[in-house]
Structure 1
Amino acid sequence: MFRRIFLLNAAVLVAAAALLLLGPVTISTPVLLTEALILSAGLAVMLIANAALLRLGLAPLQRLTRAMTTIDLLRPGPRPVAAGHSEIADLITTFNSMLDRLEAERATSSARALSAQEGERRRIAQELHDEVGQTLTAVLLELKRVADQSPAPVREELLLVQETTRGSLDEIRRIARRLRPGVLEELGLASALSALVNEIPDHGGLTVRRRVTGPLPALGDEVELVLYRVAQESLTNAVRHARARHVDLSLRRVPGAVELCIRDDGRGLGGAPEGAGIRGMRERALLIGAGLAIGPGPDGGTEVRLTVPTTQREPLP
C-alpha cells in the first residue's frame, strides 16, 4: 500500500517537474500574473489527479471499513468483494476468513449453550413435577382429609386453602410444561403450538388465532424445538410488552421451506434495542440455518417471521 501511494505521488510530481523543465513556460522575477495563473492551474490539476488516484486506490478499503462497522454475527450478510490490488484483496480475503471462523465459533458455542439451557430446563421441569408437584398433591389430599373431619367454620377455611393450593399446583404444572414441552416430543409441533396458544391467559382480552397449513414436511427434533421456542418467545413478548388485542400465529409450507409467522396489533418495537429474548431467537435460527425477520407488520404491530429451509423442495398442496 505504501509503495503504491508513493509511486502514484512520485509519478504526479515527476510529470509536473518535466512540464516545468521541458515546457515553454518560464517564471519571471517578479512573477507575472499569467505565470501565477498557469502555476495555480497546474497545482490544481496535480491535486485533483492525486486525489482521484488515491480515491480509486483506497475505495476497497473504504468498503471494508463500512463492512467492519456494520457487521453483526447474528445477521449474516454478503461478504465484501475481494477487489483491488493484491495487498488490499489479500486483506479483504483475510477479513472474510476471519468472519467465517467467528461465525463458526459462535455457532458452536451457541449450540453448546442452548443445549445446556435445554438440559437445565428439562431438569428443573422434572424436579417441579416430581418434587414440588407431588408434595402439593400430598398437601391437597391431607387438606381434604382434615376438612372432612373438621366442623363447618373450619371446613370452609380449609376449602379456601385447598383451592389456593390447587391453583399453585396448576401454575407449577404450567411452568413445567413451558420449560419442557412434553407434548412436542409426544404429539408433534402442531399439537405443541395448539397447547402453547391455549395456555395464554384470556383475562387480558388478548385473542390468539392459530393456523397450521399442512401437511408439513418431515422436520428434525432440533428444528421443531427451534420453531416452538421462537413461537413461545414471540407470544410471550406479545402478552407482556406489546399491549396487543389480537395475535395471529401461522405455520405453513412454502416452496422449499417451512414458515412460521407471529403477527400482533400492538404498539410495535419502536426504537427499543433488541433484548435477550430476540437475540436468543436469532441464535436459535442460525443454528438450523433459518432466516429470522423481525419488524413492523403490514397493519402495524410486530411481525416475527422464521423461514426454515427444507432439505428437498416440497410442492405446495
Structure 2
Amino acid sequence: MAITASMVAELRAKTDAPMMECKKALTEAEGDMVRAEEILRVKLGNKASKAAARVTAEGVIAAAVSGSTGALVEVNCETDFVSKNDLFLAFVQSCAQLVAEHNPADVTALSALPLAMEDFGPTVEDVRKGLIGKNGENMTIRRFKRYEGGGQLAHYLHGVRIGVIVEFEGDAVAAKDAAMHIAAMKPAALSSAEVPAELVEKERKIAAEKAAESGKPAEIVAKMVEGSVQKFLKEVSLLDQVFVKAADGKQTVGRMLDEKKTRVAGFTLYVVGEGIEKKADDFAAEVAARFRADDQRLAAADATETIEEEFGGVDGSHTFLTTKGCLKIAGELRGVFAIARDISARKDAELRLRRLSGFYNALAQTNHAIMHAESADEMLVRACQIVVDHGGVSGAWIGLLDAAGWLRVAAEHGMAKTYLGGLRISIDGQQEEGHGPVGTAMRAGSIAVCNDYLADPRTRPWQERARAAGISASAALPVRRGGEVVGAFCLYAGQVGFFDQALIELLGELASDISFALDNFDADSRRQRAEADLRSARDRLHELSARLIGVQEAERRRLARDLHDDIGQNLTMIKIVLHGLARWGAGGDAEAVREAGEIADRTLQRVRALSVALRPPQLDDLGLVPALRAHLDSTCRHAGIKATLVADECPAHLPEEIGIACFRIAQEALNNVVRHAGATAVALELRLADGALRLSLRDDGHGFDVPAALTSATRGQSLGLLSMQERAELVGGQLTVSSGAAGSEVRASLPLAEATL
C-alpha cells in the first residue's frame, strides 16, 4: 500500500513522533493507522535508549510537602526548551509526589512505581521513555531527598531551577525565610562543624599556598591559614552566614532563628545541573547536522512543513518562519527547498501587545481593588499581587518613607520577597543607597526605568542580590500623598528591555491611581477621626448632662425638704401664735393679728406647693405611679381638664434615674398641654412591655407643628421638647412626639435591665 504524505501527517499529529518514524511505522503496518501507533509506542523505548548517551544538564526541580512528609526531586533534560514543557513539568511533579507517598529506596525503585500520563505508562520508567520519544531529548531522574516523621517542613522553589526543603521546629515564617536564604546564598552545610572535610582541606590548601607567598614566618603563616579557613567556614555555613533580609546587614541566620525561637535540624538544596559536566559542542556543526537530518526526513516523507525557528546572532536573536519541502522536477526528487521569512519584528510586537494587554488588565484589577479595599495597607498588598499575577512582572513591592528618609516595605509579592531581605534604599542623594533608580524616582517625582539592571552603574550596590533573584530590568514609580512623594512602587522583570515606552505610560497611570487611593484613604481617616471626636464630645456632653440633672434633682430634693421641714414648720408656728393672739386679744390689734395669720396660711400653702413641684414626696415615699397620679390630679383639677390614668404595677426596685426621667417627661408634657393645647381631656398611660417602661400622654387639644417646634428648640426658643428628648436619651431611651387636628401625643420608651423586671 502506498504511504501518502497526508497519512504521515495524520499519524504525526496523533503521536508527535518524528516524520521518518511515522513513515516507517506506517510502512511496517501496511497503512493500518492503529497498528502504526502501536509500533511507534514500542519504538519510543528504542529511541530512549539511543538518547541515553546524551548529556542532560538542564531540567526541573519539584517539591511535594504535606505536614512532616516531603520530597525534593531533580529530573534532567538536554535543553531548557523541554524543561518548560507542561507535560515534562507535570512528570517531574508526579515523581516528587510518588517519592513523598511511597518512599522508594532509590531512582530504580522510583522508576518502577506505577504512573500513567496521556498514553504513556504504566510505570514511571515507561512515562520517561514515552516523553523521550515525544520530545526527542534524553531525560533522567537524577536524584531525590525524602523527609518523614521528623520536625516540621518548609520548602521554597526559585522558579524550577533551585529547590530547598528545611526541617525545623518553631516558627514557620522564619523557616520559610531560612529556605529562601539557602536558595539565594547556597550554604554548603548547616554549621561549620558539618562542612564536608574535602571542602575544608581544599580551602586549607589554597590558603596555605597564598600564605606561603607572603614570605612571613611559619607560625604567622599557620595563623593566616587558620584565619582564612575559619572565614571560609562562616561563609559556607548556614547559621553563620549574614541573613539576606537582615535590616542592619549584620544579623546572622542563626541569630534570626534564635530570635524567632526556631531550630533548623537540616536542609536539602538542589540546583539544576549542579555538578554535571556539560558537553562543549561545535554549535555550527550541530546546526548543520540538524539541517541535514531535517532535509533527509522531509525527502523520505515526501512532505512539506512550516515551522518557527529562532537563531542567535551578533545583533541578538531572530525568529524565522520557515517553509520546507521536497523539490521535484518532472516528478523526480531533485532536492529540498526552504523559504524563510524573518518574523522577529512581528514576534516582538506580539510580545509587547501581550505585555500591554496584561498591564491594562492589571490596571483595571487595581482600580477594582481600590474601590473594595477596606484599608490603605490592604490596597497596597493587592496592588502588588495584581501587577505580578496579571502584568507579567516577576516581582513588585511598595515602600513608604520613614521619618529618616529610608524606605520601609509596606507590601510585596513575587520574587521581591527574596530581593528585599536586608535591602536599604534612601531618598537622600548624598547616601550611596539613594543613587539607584528608586531614590532617583522619589527625588525627581517621575518614573525611573532601568532596562539592563545588571549592567547599569546606578544599580551596582544591589546587583548581586538582583542576580540571585533573577532580576534583569526594573521600574520605580513615585507614590504620592497629598501631592508629596511619600514612597515608591517598584517592579522587576526577568528580561532585559522589558519596560518600553507604552508600558511606562501605563505605569504612570497605575502610580497615579495608587496615589489617588491613598489620598482618599487619608480623607476617610480624617473623617473617621472627626466622627470619633464628635462621638466622644457627644458622650462627654451626655455624661455632663446626666451629672447636671443628677445634681439638679439632688438640689431639688434638698430644697423641697428645707421648704417642707424648716420654712414650712416655722410658718406653721407663726400661724399658731397668731391664732392665739387673735383669740385672746381685742380691738384693732386682733384684726391685724387675724390678717397676719391669713397671710401666713397662704404663704404656708405656697411653700408646700413649691415643695411638691420641686420634688413630689410621693416619688420618694410611695413610688412613680402614685407620684404621677397625684401630679396629674392636682394639675388637671386646677386647669379644669378631665384626667385619666392607666398604669401597670411598676417593679419594686425601679432604678431611680428611670423613675425621675419618666416623671419629669410626664410633668413637662402635662405643663405643655395646660399652657398651649387648649385641651379638655388628658389620658396618661404607663405600661411595662418588651423590657421597657412605656409612657404615653395624649390630649384632645388643637395640636401644633412638631418639626417647627423642634427647630425652635434647637435655636433655644423653646426647650421643653428638647429637655424631654435629652432626659429619655440619657437613660438609653427614646421619645417621639406626634400631633394633628385631633390632638397630640408624647411617647417615651425607657429600657429596663433584666434584673429590674
Q: TM-score range by the shorter chain?
A: 0.5 to 0.7
Find the counterpart in structure 1 of residue 690 from structure 2: 255
Give 1 or 2: higher helix fraction: 1
Provide closer, same or farther for how the CA distance between residues 154 and 217 of structure 1 changes in structure 2, counting only shifts above 3 A: closer
Larger Rg: 2
Paired AA for residue 745 in structure 2 = E
Deviation at 1:304, TM superposition (A): 1.2
Find the counterpart in structure 2 of residue 120 from structure 1: 555
Q: Is the 8 A contact 1:133 1:172 kept in 2?
A: yes
Q: Given the alignment, which residue of 638, 648, 652 partners 1:213?
A: 648
Find the counterpart in structure 1 of residue 729 from structure 2: 286
Output the CA distance in 2 between the equivalents of 1:267 and 1:162: 44
Q: Given the alignment, which residue of 306, 312, 317 partners 2:754?
A: 312
Output the CA distance in 1 between the equivalents of 2:702 and 2:622: 34
Output the CA distance in 2 between the equivalents of 1:169 and 1:177: 12
1:301 paired to 2:301: no
Find the counterpart in structure 1 of residue 669 from structure 2: 234
Q: Is the 8 A contact 2:685 2:697 kept in 1?
A: yes
Deviation at 1:157, TM superposition (A): 6.5
Output the CA distance in 1 between the equivalents of 2:548 and 2:755: 31
Deviation at 1:211, TM superposition (A): 1.1
Find the counterpart in structure 1 of residue 355 from structure 2: none
List alignment gaps of at least 5 residues for structure 2.
Answer: 1-370, 372-518
Provide closer, same or farther for how the CA distance between residues 207 and 165 of structure 1 changes in structure 2, counting only shifts above 3 A: farther
Output the CA distance in 2 between the equivalents of 1:313 and 1:169: 42
Output the CA distance in 1 between the equivalents of 2:696 and 2:604: 32
Output the CA distance in 1 between the equivalents of 2:690 and 2:525: 39
1:86 paired to 2:521: yes
Deviation at 1:277, TM superposition (A): 2.6
Paired AA for residue 102 in structure 1 = A
Output the CA distance in 2 between the equivalents of 1:196 and 1:202: 10
Output the CA distance in 1 between the equivalents of 2:755 and 2:747: 19
More moved, 228-237 vs 211-220: 211-220
Provide closer, same or farther for how the CA distance between residues 234 and 227 of structure 1 changes in structure 2, counting only shifts above 3 A: same
Output the CA distance in 2 between the equivalents of 1:259 and 1:152: 61
Q: Map 1:177-216 onto structure 2 (within 5 A).
A: 177-200=612-635, 202-214=637-649, 216=651
Q: Is the 8 A contact 1:256 1:314 kept in 2?
A: no
Deviation at 1:286, TM superposition (A): 1.5
TM-score between the two structures when normalised by the length of structure 2:
0.29
Output the CA distance in 2 between the equivalents of 1:312 and 1:85: 45
Output the CA distance in 1 between the equivalents of 2:684 and 2:587: 49
4+ residue runs over 6 A deviation = none
Provide closer, same or farther for how the CA distance between residues 131 and 256 of structure 1 changes in structure 2, counting only shifts above 3 A: closer
Q: Give SS of 1:202's match.
A: helix
Higher relative contact order (CA 8 A, sep 6+): 1
Q: Is the 8 A contact 1:255 1:314 kept in 2?
A: no
Q: Is the 8 A contact 2:568 2:604 kept in 1?
A: yes
Output the CA distance in 1 between the equivalents of 2:635 and 2:521: 59
Paired AA for residue 303 in structure 1 = E
Q: Is the 8 A contact 1:144 1:162 kept in 2?
A: yes
The superposition leaves residues 198-252 of structure 1 with CA deviations (integer Å, 9 ceiling, x where unpaired) of 2215243212211103355852111111111111111122122322221111101
Paired AA for residue 146 in structure 1 = L
Cα RMSD (Å): 2.9
Q: Is the 8 A contact 1:290 1:308 kept in 2?
A: yes
Deviation at 1:90, TM superposition (A): 2.7
Output the CA distance in 2 between the equivalents of 1:227 and 1:119: 16
TM-score between the two structures when normalised by the length of structure 1:
0.65
Provide closer, same or farther for how the CA distance between residues 203 and 232 of structure 1 changes in structure 2, counting only shifts above 3 A: closer
Provide closer, same or farther for how the CA distance between residues 99 and 300 of structure 1 changes in structure 2, counting only shifts above 3 A: farther
Deviation at 1:85, TM superposition (A): 5.1
Paired AA for residue 199 in structure 1 = S
Find the counterpart in structure 1 of residue 266 from structure 2: none
Paired AA for residue 751 in structure 2 = P
The superposition leaves residues 154-183 of structure 1 with CA deviations (integer Å, 9 ceiling, x where unpaired) of 756754553443233122112112212322
The superposition leaves residues 64-87 of structure 1 with CA deviations (integer Å, 9 ceiling, x where unpaired) of xxxxxxxxxxxxxxxxxxxx9534
Paired AA for residue 281 in structure 1 = M
